[in-house]
Amino acid sequence: MSLLVILLSVGAACCTGFGFVLQQDAARRAPQSDFLSPRLLLDLMRVPSWLAGIGLMICGMALGAFALGQGEVSVVEPLLATNLLFALALARFFTGQRLGRQGWGGLWLLAGGVTAFLLAGQPSGGEAVTEPLRHWLVIGVVVGLALVLTAFARHPRTPWAPAMLGLAGGLLYGLQDALTRVCALRFDEGGLGALFTGWQPYALVVMGVTSLILVQSAFEAGPLRMSLPALTAAQPLAGIVCGIGFLGDQVRTDTGALAWQAAGLAAIVTGIVLLGLHPAMPEGKDRHGSTAADRLMLDGPHESG
């Protein structure tokens, strides 16, 4: 692990976390008819806060791509999961909510889990798998799971739609990160000619648009605390599976190391859930399509007594 990879990954997480908060704040006001439709992106393009959030996300993706070009997916992905820390920091700034036990507990679990996984696994690069069957099997499983989750969440009134779409978007984000690493390797080996003669950069464009629609629909369908934990947990898990599955990433496999890696991943997921459910995370629409602020304005103040 180089210091440059760590700094690039944490910088990417910072931009992405801030961007998610701004995107959700805009997406929660979008019409329900835009759910899972490309029209959602067209409508959101008129909202300045959403454009600012997308700009931050693009910066995060660029920093993440540089990190993936310098380091292994199994190293970068756990660090990218810290985006939730930065999302909570911005949400806390907006709401003035204190961290409390839940916030501090989630913070230490997430940070400790990332540290435990990286130190125990000591991820390192290896020879990329050239066997097409294994390559497509891993990709097929990740994409297939994303499609199944999207199918179950296709109605915006489904109670778990935000979480399922967050999971689907996170899976595709993890696969995108792995394919970004493949593109970087192809560019290093043969320049632009080798890069654009492969299918990977074109698949990245398709998955980028698809995952963006999924994530914005998740933000539209419910509170950030329902969608962001699922998204943040799924991305590193999918990225690590792809890294080991077809990019040749290697981790220690002795019993002690595997136990610490499993504990680290469990701590990461638990920390993500605790932080994502923190009261500082913005509320979204309820199942009737209104926000908490909207209901307060409609109901007006209630007199006591």
- pLDDT over 60 at 297, yes or no: no
The rounded distance, in Å, linking the Cα atoms of 73 and 125 is 9
Phi, psi of 124, deg, nearest 5: -140, 160
- pLDDT over 70 at 303, yes or no: no
- Residue 288 pLDDT: 41
- The total number of residues written for the chain in this structure: 305
pTM for this prediction: 0.79
The mean-pLDDT minimum among 58-72, 219-233, 253-267, 285-299 falls in 285-299
Report which listed range, 3-17, 33-47, 85-99, 150-164, is most confident. Answer: 3-17
Contact 68, 2 (CB under 8 A): no
What is the residue-wise DSSP string for the chain?
A: --HHHHHHHHHHHHHHHHHHHHHHHHHTTS-GGGTTSTHHHHHHTT-HHHHHHHHHHHHHHHHHHHHHHHS-HHHHHHHHTTHHHHHHHHHHHHH----HHHHHHHHHHHHHHHHHHHHHH--B--PPP--HHHHHHHHHHHHHHHHHHHHHT-STT-TTHHHHHHHHHHHHHHHHHHHHHHHHHHHHHHHHHHHHTSSHHHHHHHHHHHHHHHHHHHHHHS-HHHHHHHHHHHHHHHHHHHHHHHS--B---SHHHHHHHHHHHHHHHHHHHHHHTSTTSPP---TTS--HHHHHHHH-PPPP-
Contact 278, 97 (CB under 8 A): yes
* Average pLDDT of the residues of the chain: 84
The predicted model gives 175-199 an average pLDDT of 87
- pLDDT over 60 at 47, yes or no: yes
- Residue 69 pLDDT: 84
